[in-house]
Amino acid sequence: MNNAVIADKFEQLADLLELEGANAFRVRAYRNAARTIESLPEALETLVADDSRSLQDLPGIGKDLAEKIRVILETDELPQLAELKEKIPADVVRMLRIPGLGPKKVATLYRELKLTSLDKLKHAAEQGTIAEKKGFGNKTEQIILEGLDHLERSGVRMYLADAKPFVDGIAEELRKLKSVHQVAVAGSVRRLKETVGDFDLLVTAEDPAEAMDYLAEHAQVEKVLARGETKQRVRFKPLTPCITPDGNRMSMEMDLRVVPKESFGAALQYFTGSKEHNIVTRRMAKDRDLKLNEYGLFRGEEQLNAETEEEVYAALDLPWIPPELREDRREFEAIEAGGLPDLLELSDIRGDLHMHTTATDGTATIEEMIEGARERGLKYIAITDHSKRVMMANGLDADRLRAHWKEIQKIRKKYDDIEVLCGIECDILEDATMDLPDDVLAEAEWVIAVLHYGLKQPREKITERLLTAIRNPHVDIIGHPTGRLIGKRPGADVDYDTIFKAAADHGVMMEINAHPARVDLDDVRAAQAKDYGIPIVISTDAHSTGGFDKMVWGVYQARRAGLTKKDVANTKTAKQFLKMLK
């Protein structure tokens, strides 16, 4: 039972309580508990087992919540949540995931209009029934129809940050089996895609049955869907929060294939994908009178060496291509132009320039965040709490911000091994102005400009807002540029060419926000920003010290964009980075 699963139960409970019209403070308590649990650097099971510590020492965890956590750990269930799920249809909960629909409106749709499914909701919106209800109108109907379309298109997927540790764990277990020689993760997990639809594992083994039996009997497997001599498909129990229309956990499936040693490299190349990349490699093989498929590499009836991917690519006169670049975007052109990029590594990162403290919606103090950064070997950070527009996060006005900066300046004097910048995450308002006046921004050492609200404005208005920030002499970077939340909220409609050209002209950087729900910029747009010569900064948006560990997901996104160490500004030394700002 990992922390994410427990946090998800509290989030679900908060959703259902909101639909029931429960006290807002009670709902907020569950949401705050979920955030605290998700950001913990250690497993709750470990904490509970330590007699010298108490769950009630955690921020926002009182006696009642502590008891609920123990119940979940002991039974894998939360009775209150199960009871509410019996009362409220799952599709009603899914309605909460429609952008623009809050709990009060969803409750009205459910209780007064008796709309208990997404199909009924869609029909009512199309028929104009909802617009007749007081407080809704034609605009709400349009929001509902657009939101339903988004839910349908978003499909069922899992964040890479949830999928990769789980699949890697299964692979490691299989490696310990006596008859197993090789195990490799393939598919979109290996390509480090931001979301994953299913899992793929390849194995070489003396006894295929041992690996299949082990997986079939795994504690997390719910059902064996199919099994042959060399291939097995299983469905896991609901494991961890996935990106589904209802936001709940769901069952993921895995294909396990046992392949001969002599064709392992060809099979790994094939099942890693992408489909588009493989179309090109198969065509290149054909041009050389070869045949390349999941079974191996062949010249006529003769099977050639294909134990490794390196042998497969060499037969095509290609260097080995990192999996994250295998999308048939630029990898083949890069090889023709002189070589593949030397991709960024996590160890290259020296600073983190987007984080929050207890001054707004973070769970750690200034000093705790500094210590957390030092423990991870960072050499510089920027503390960037929210500006006042983000009221739900207790955003800072000018007076509170200046007092906050004074506190940072006082505390940072204690440290001579890390640079700590006084920063701000400043909203770009819906009317294309900044949330704080220029005289305040001028005092900041690092200004992130962001879109949080009005993301559905037309492209022209979104572009105007971003240009306002880019042209502001005090703005250093555009943070999570589209504002998207993957699978939950589409990003703003951005005119990237206009924005990137302006950013290049004004010396404004672009962020890859490493939070798994954002990783924004995405890989395609990060590569486009690189083409414009715009320095990229990868930051965690950490709201706790544990949040620093999300950096890896931003690095993975940068690798998919083909970024190297020189393309990323926070790979520089503190001295070099501060010189850039000047």
pTM of the model: 0.78
Nearest 5 degrees, angle CA 565-CA 331-CA 255? Answer: 100
> 450 pLDDT band (50/70/90 cuts)?
very high
Closest CA to 332 of 340, 324, 343: 340
CATH number of residue 314's parent domain: 3.30.210.10
Is the Cβ–Cβ distance between 423 and 445 less than 8 Å? yes
Q: pLDDT at position 254, please? A: 93
Q: What pLDDT is attached to residue 156?
A: 67
When pLDDT is averaged across residues 220-242 and rounded to a whole number, the result is 83
Radius of gyration of the chain (CA): 25
Task: Copy the structure tokens of residue 328.
Answer: 């048939």
Residue 464 near residue 441 (C-beta atoms within 8 A): no
pLDDT in tens, 109-134: 988 889 988 899 999 999 998 988 88
Tokens 């764990």 correspond to what residue?
169
- Asked whether residue 99 is assigned to any structural domain, the reply reads yes
Q: Are residues 227 and 283 in the same domain?
A: no
The count of domains in the chain is 4
DSSP H/E element including 140:
helix 138-154
Residues 20 and 142 in one domain: yes
Helices (H), ranges, 376-491:
398-412, 438-441, 459-471
Residues 395 and 530 in one domain: yes
Give buried/exposed letters for 319-335 (b at 16+ CB in 10 A, else e). Answer: eebbbbbbbbbebbeee
- Distance, CA of 235 to CA of 221 (rounded, Å): 6
pLDDT at residue 249, as a whole number: 55
DSSP state, residue 128: T
- Give the span between the Cα atoms of 539 and 526, in whole angstroms: 14
Could you tell me if 121 and 149 lie in one domain?
A: yes
Residue closest to 472 by CA, chosen among 422, 518, 519, 424: 424
Same domain, 99 and 11: yes
In this structure, are 393 and 325 located in the same domain? no
Q: How many residues does the chain have?
A: 582
* Residue 226 in this model has a pLDDT that exceeds 90: no
In a domain, 267, yes or no: no
Q: Contact, 205 vs 189, CB < 8 A?
A: no
pLDDT value of residue 145:
86
- Terminal C-alpha separation, the chain: 48
Average pLDDT over residues 78-105: 85
Average pLDDT of the chain, as a whole number: 91
Rounded to 5°, angle at Cα 27 from 22 and 30: 140
Give residue-wise pLDDT tens across range 246-292. Answer: 445 557 889 999 999 999 999 999 999 998 999 999 999 999 999 99
Tokens representing 387 are 């500006």
pLDDT given for residue 41 in this prediction: 65
* One domain for residues 376 and 513: yes
CA distance 269 to 558: 22
In a domain, 269, yes or no: no
Same domain for 122 and 61, yes or no, is yes
CB 468 within 8 A of CB 432: yes
Residue 337 has pLDDT above 80, yes or no: yes
Are residue 281 and residue 246 in the same domain, yes or no?
no
Last residue of a domain, one of 322, 340, 358: 340
Cα angle 77, 81, 86; round to 5:
110
Q: Does the pLDDT of residue 425 top 80, yes or no?
A: yes
pLDDT in tens, 494-552: 999 899 999 999 999 999 999 999 999 999 999 999 999 999 999 999 999 999 999 99
Greater confidence (288 vs 25) lies with 288
Taking the CA atoms of residue 397, residue 398, residue 400 and residue 403 in that order, the dihedral angle to the nearest 10 degrees is 160
Q: Please indicate, yes or no, if residue 263 is contained in any of the structural domains.
A: no
- Asked if residue 40 has pLDDT above 80, the reply is no
d(C-alpha 289, C-alpha 293), whole Å: 13
395 located within any domain: yes
For residue 282, what are the domain limits?
274-340
Residue finishing a domain among 300, 320, 340: 340
Cα 82-87-88 angle, rounded to 5 deg: 95
488 in the same domain as 576: yes
* Domain's final residue, options 294, 319, 340: 340
Structural domain includes residue 268? no
CATH label of the domain that carries residue 538: 3.20.20.140
Q: Please check whether residue 164 lies inside any domain of the structure.
A: yes
Residues 166-200 have pLDDT tens digits of 999 999 999 999 999 999 999 999 999 999 988 99
Please tell me whether residues 115 and 225 are part of one structural domain: no
Is 43 a residue whose pLDDT tops 80?
Answer: no
Residue 242: predicted pLDDT = 56
- Identify the band that residue 245 occupies on the pLDDT scale cut at 50, 70 and 90: very low
> How does DSSP classify residue 446?
E
* Residue 295 domain flag: yes
Angle between helices 398-412 and 366-375 (to 10 degrees): 50
User: Helix, strand, or coil here: 233?
Assistant: strand
Dihedral class, residue 432 (left if φ above 0, else alpha if ψ from -120 to 50, else beta): left
Over range 360-380, report the average pLDDT.
Answer: 97
pLDDT tens-digit readout, 146-162: 778 666 654 568 899 98
**Residue 89 belongs to domain with CATH number:** 1.10.150.110
Same domain assignment for residues 17 and 115: yes
